[in-house]
Amino acid sequence: MPETAAVAALLACCSWRVWARSVLARRPYADIDAVLDTADAALAQLAMDEIDRALDGHPRIGDRPDSATSAREQAAVAIAGDAVRVALAAGNRAYEA
């Protein structure tokens, strides 16, 4: 996979560029398990404020998707009833408190 496409794919998972560069720097990978192990190890090295900023790059569950990836991740929410949406909003508020 070309570097530009690899960076885009990684940033779709975690929007913190330090993490993406760390995972990218260890290419090539033998298999998906090696990628996931490296991604986990790189994430474990982030400080809490970096994790918060990485998560800020993705819409909350139930919010309007801002990309095709987010739309796929939240597809079930699009057809959810009002009670589910209210519960998701309450859960987001509780999580962020």
Domain boundaries, the chain: 1-58, 60-97
How many angstroms separate the CA atoms of 16 and 68, rounded? 18
DSSP string, 63-95: SPP-SHHHHHHTHHHHT--HHHHHHHHHHHHHH
Instruction: Compute the mean pLDDT over every residue in the chain, rounded to the nearest whole number.
Output: 83
**What is the value of pTM for the model shown?**
0.61
Note the pLDDT tens digit of each residue in 34-74.
999 999 999 899 898 888 887 777 666 666 666 676 667 66
Start-to-end CA distance of the chain, whole Å, equals 40
Which position has the higher pLDDT, 62 or 10?
A: 10
pLDDT of residue 55: 76
**pLDDT at position 53:** 80
CB-based burial label for 78 (10 Å; 0-12, 13-18, 19+): exposed
Does the pLDDT value for residue 33 go beyond 80?
Answer: yes
